[in-house]
């Protein structure tokens, strides 16, 4: 296990350097503009480099997850389309249609469907029956776009993805599911080199890279795939409600952001600067402190989900607690600009901070 982990880690590093050269050759780069505040042309190959390594591992050990070749096909299509989107800026409607199609393939051929939601609303088992197909599509499309939306500052998408996959690793460990444990850890280990290079560690800003839509979409899809594998069937590693807690920040931020946009009569997927990381930057918190605080929040919430799972806290208690937390998050974020002005005045922050590598999130 140690030898394979070292191989995955350095394989990911080599993959990043290789695809970095490819990115410059084919112009797969992100250039600064009025809403992207970074310096230079940054290669958009983080996700491509990570998942080439992850796919190679899964192709070598196909028994790691069920229907591994279906996963490889679906995730491979998402990865390829994500690269094309980074190059050509594909219509969101087309990408949304593709995500629905991928959901259908996953349900039909891999038979991964959210039927059993456990004791979600009360002390009794709830089976969604045919509604499960609709909810599964919503979950897949929602997860893909939730992780895409948080990709706004250096290290954040990689950090939140690592928190989620690490939390799943813990749950798979306690449930004795060594195959899913190995796959989750593979993704965590392969992502670490990306986070380091995204933050300019240890080679500096010259070797900086971004994840790209290719990476964020596959991350979201993989999260849903593993959560369905772990929460459905006869042997369960986690309850469906625990999934909300281990991916809490991306979910809450996406739901809150989309709700605000719809309320304003805007497109749910119109880019803006009203995500949690933007708010923290507006308050004068630096990018690295913002990254630390948000990842810490995600880790705390994921830990609460894990502890509740281990201690068998009633699922409906955790579900309604999450709904309350989501509501409070939405209410605060809906009024955050007024709060921001007051906090900045109180702290004496008058100048707008300058931050590099800050993007307008999706």
Reported as a single tens digit per residue, the pLDDT across 264-322 is 888 787 777 778 898 888 777 889 999 999 999 999 999 999 999 999 999 999 999 99
Residue ranges in 199-286 assigned as alpha helix (H): 212-231, 240-246, 248-263, 276-282
Write out pLDDT tens, residues 134-189.
Answer: 999 999 999 999 999 998 899 999 999 999 999 999 999 999 999 999 999 999 99
Which long-range contacts does 100-104 make (Cβ < 8 Å, 24+ apart)? 100/137, 100/141, 102/74, 102/77, 102/78, 102/140, 102/221, 103/136, 103/137, 103/140, 103/141, 104/137
Q: Into how many domains does the chain fold?
A: 1
User: Which residue would you say has higher pLDDT here, 263 or 84?
Assistant: 84
Closest alpha carbon to 306 in 180, 172, 185, 126: 172
> Is the pLDDT assigned to residue 354 strictly greater than 70?
no
> Is the pLDDT assigned to residue 342 strictly greater than 80?
no
CB 141 within 8 A of CB 242: no
Cα(264)–Cα(119) distance, integer angstroms:
35
Band of pLDDT at residue 362, cut at 50, 70 and 90: low
Read off the pLDDT of each residue in 353-360 and give the average, rounded to a whole number.
53
Burial of 265 (0-12, 13-18, 19+ CB in 10 A): exposed
Cα(332)–Cα(136) distance, integer angstroms:
29
User: Which residue would you say has higher pLDDT here, 200 or 135?
Assistant: 135
Q: What is the mean pLDDT of the chain?
A: 90
Closest alpha carbon to 161 in 206, 100, 106, 216: 216
Percentage of the chain lying above the pLDDT 70 cut: 93
Band of pLDDT at residue 350, cut at 50, 70 and 90: low
Residue 165 tokens read as: 């996959």
Percentage of the chain lying above the pLDDT 90 cut: 73
Dump strand ranges (E) for the chain: 29-30, 36-37, 42-43, 358-359
β-sheet bridge partners, residue 116 = 127
Domain with 244, as residue range(s), is: 2-359
- In the three-class reduction of DSSP (H, G, I as helix; E, B as strand; rest coil), residue 27 is classed as coil
**Can the peptide bond before residue 305 be classed as cis, meaning omega within 30 degrees of 0?**
no
Cα(95)–Cα(72) distance, integer angstroms:
18
Read off the pLDDT of each residue in 99-115 and give the average, rounded to a whole number.
96
CB 355 within 8 A of CB 154: no
Closest alpha carbon to 218 in 305, 99, 62: 99
Write out pLDDT tens, residues 24-43.
Answer: 999 999 876 555 555 678 99
Read off the pLDDT of each residue in 120-138 and give the average, rounded to a whole number.
95
> Is the pLDDT assigned to residue 243 strictly greater than 90?
yes
Closest alpha carbon to 193 in 8, 1, 3: 8
Name the packing angle between helices 92-109 and 131-149 (round to 10°). Answer: 130
User: How far, CA to CA in Å, does 17 sit from each of 62, 76, 193?
Assistant: 27, 21, 10
Residue 84 tokens read as: 């094309």
Global pTM? Answer: 0.92
> Is the pLDDT assigned to residue 337 strictly greater than 80?
no
Name the packing angle between helices 156-175 and 178-198 (round to 10°). Answer: 160
> Is the pLDDT assigned to residue 336 strictly greater than 90?
no
> Is the pLDDT assigned to residue 218 strictly greater than 90?
yes
- Confidence (pLDDT) at 335: 81
- Confidence (pLDDT) at 291: 94
CB 198 within 8 A of CB 158: yes
């Amino acid at each position: 296990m140690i030898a394979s982990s070292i191989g995955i880690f350095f394989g990911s590093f080599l993959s990043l350097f290789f695809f970095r050269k490819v990115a410059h050759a084919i112009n797969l780069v992100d250039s600064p503009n009025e809403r992207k505040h970074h310096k230079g042309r940054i290669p958009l190959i983080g996700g491509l480099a990570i998942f080439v390594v992850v796919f190679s591992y899964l192709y070598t050990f196909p028994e790691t997850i069920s229907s591994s070749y279906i996963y490889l096909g679906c995730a491979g299509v998402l990865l390829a389309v994500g690269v094309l989107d980074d190059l050509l800026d594909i219509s969101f409607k087309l990408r949304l249609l593709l995500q629905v199609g991928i959901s259908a393939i996953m349900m039909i051929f891999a038979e991964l469907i959210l039927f059993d939601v456990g004791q979600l609303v009360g002390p009794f088992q709830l089976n969604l029956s045919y509604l499960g197909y609709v909810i599964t599509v919503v979950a897949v499309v929602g997860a893909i776009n939730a992780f895409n939306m948080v990709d706004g500052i250096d290290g954040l998408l990689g950090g939140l993805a690592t928190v989620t996959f690490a939390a799943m690793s813990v749950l798979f460990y306690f449930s004795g599911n060594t195959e899913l444990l190995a796959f989750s850890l593979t993704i965590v280990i392969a992502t670490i080199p990306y986070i380091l290079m995204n933050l300019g560690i240890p080679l500096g800003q010259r070797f900086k890279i971004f994840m790209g839509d290719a990476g964020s979409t596959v991350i979201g899809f993989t999260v849903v795939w593993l959560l369905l594998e772990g929460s459905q069937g006869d042997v369960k590693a986690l309850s469906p409600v625990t999934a909300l807690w281990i991916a809490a920040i991306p979910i809450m931020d996406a739901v809150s952001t989309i709700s605000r946009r719809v309320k304003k009569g805007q497109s749910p997927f119109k880019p803006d600067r009203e995500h949690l990381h933007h708010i923290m930057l507006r308050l004068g918190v630096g990018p690295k402190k913002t990254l630390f605080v948000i990842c810490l929040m995600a880790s705390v919430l994921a830990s609460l989900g894990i502890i509740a799972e281990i201690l068998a806290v009633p699922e409906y208690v955790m579900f309604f607690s999450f709904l309350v937390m989501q509501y409070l998050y939405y209410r605060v974020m809906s009024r955050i600009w007024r709060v921001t002005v007051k906090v900045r005045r109180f702290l004496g922050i008058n100048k707008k901070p300058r931050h590099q590598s800050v993007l307008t999130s999706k």
